[in-house]
Amino acid sequence: MPVIKYARIRDPLFYEWDRKAQKSGLRNTVYAVNGDQYTGEWLDNLKHGKGTQIWKSTGAVYSGDWKFGKRDGYGSYSILDPVTKEYKKVYTGLWENDQRGGRGTFFYTNGEHYEGEWSNGLRSGWGKMYYKDGSTYEGEWLMDQRNGQGLLKLPNGNRYEGGWKDGKKHGPGKYSYPDKGQLLEGIWVADIPKCGVLVDFGRENAPDPTEFPLPEIELHDPAGVLAEAQAKFDDSHN
């Protein structure tokens, strides 16, 4: 009985090309259609592991961790200065789902920088901001604004410690004036002190004290006055 041989069915050639094009493991530089380039590790045709991406349109560079095609883990992002042609670091720290997430340091173009926590690419959590004028803020942030409790120090030595909301002083707080030797403790609303107690504090050592000391006012219960103001503040904001 004759043996019948059937031709082996082969997949179309483009299936084989596709399998060969799939990227996994460490690869040399791969260029995208738009000119972007990536050198590093892959998994199932996605950037995964350690790698460096260069964007052609801006010249920006990211070097660090990737997870399923997105920046995730620790990495650093730098941009190319169009004048000096040197790279300037913009952000170094943790990433999550292709955005700044976790703890990291961001350098702004005006010379200011922030060290602290991030969420969804925005300052959120605890962090410290160094401003161009020499002042600093250390405390809580939410959605890129000062929110919660924090300490603001000004170049002249004055400082505010207390509540913040939407980037402004809000709630109970203390504002000290070391140059004048005075301390204001009270309640703020949208950067404006609404009520409080102003007292001399270290006036004898102040570099520029007021001409006359504050008169002493007898309050039977200064803490009670502030507590009452706090209760009114809470009622008006509930």
Mean of the per-residue pLDDT values for the chain?
A: 85
Measured CA to CA, the distance from residue 232 to residue 142 in angstroms comes to 25
The CA–CA distances, whole Å, from 189 to 149, 167, 172 equal: 14, 11, 9
Q: Where in the chain is the domain with CATH 2.20.110?
A: 12-107, 123-233
Answer whether CATH 1.10.10 is correct for domain 123-233.
no
The CATH number of domain 12-107, selected from 2.60.40, 3.30.450, 2.20.110, 3.40.50 = 2.20.110
Average pLDDT over residues 91-96: 98
Token digits for 221? 């219960």
Q: Is the pLDDT of residue 237 over 70?
A: no
Q: Which of 90, 95, 118 is nearest to 106 (CA)?
A: 90
Q: Tell me the three state secondary structure of residue 62.
A: strand
Token digits for 49? 């592991």
> Would you state the pLDDT for residue 12?
52
More confident residue, 158 or 222: 158
> Would you state the pLDDT for residue 14?
39
> Would you state the pLDDT for residue 13?
46
Full-model pTM: 0.79
Tell me how far the alpha carbon of residue 210 is from its chain's centroid: 39
| Helices assigned H by DSSP within the chain | 13-21, 222-236
pLDDT of 200-228, one tens digit each? 777 777 667 776 666 665 544 555 555 66
The CA–CA distances, whole Å, from 107 to 8, 54, 81, 141 equal: 62, 19, 14, 17
- pLDDT-based confidence at residue 85 (cuts at 50, 70, 90): confident
> Would you state the pLDDT for residue 65?
98
β partners of residue 49: 66
Average pLDDT over residues 89-100: 98
> Would you state the pLDDT for residue 18?
43
- pLDDT-based confidence at residue 10 (cuts at 50, 70, 90): low
pLDDT of 29-74, one tens digit each? 899 999 999 999 999 889 999 999 999 999 999 999 999 999 999 9
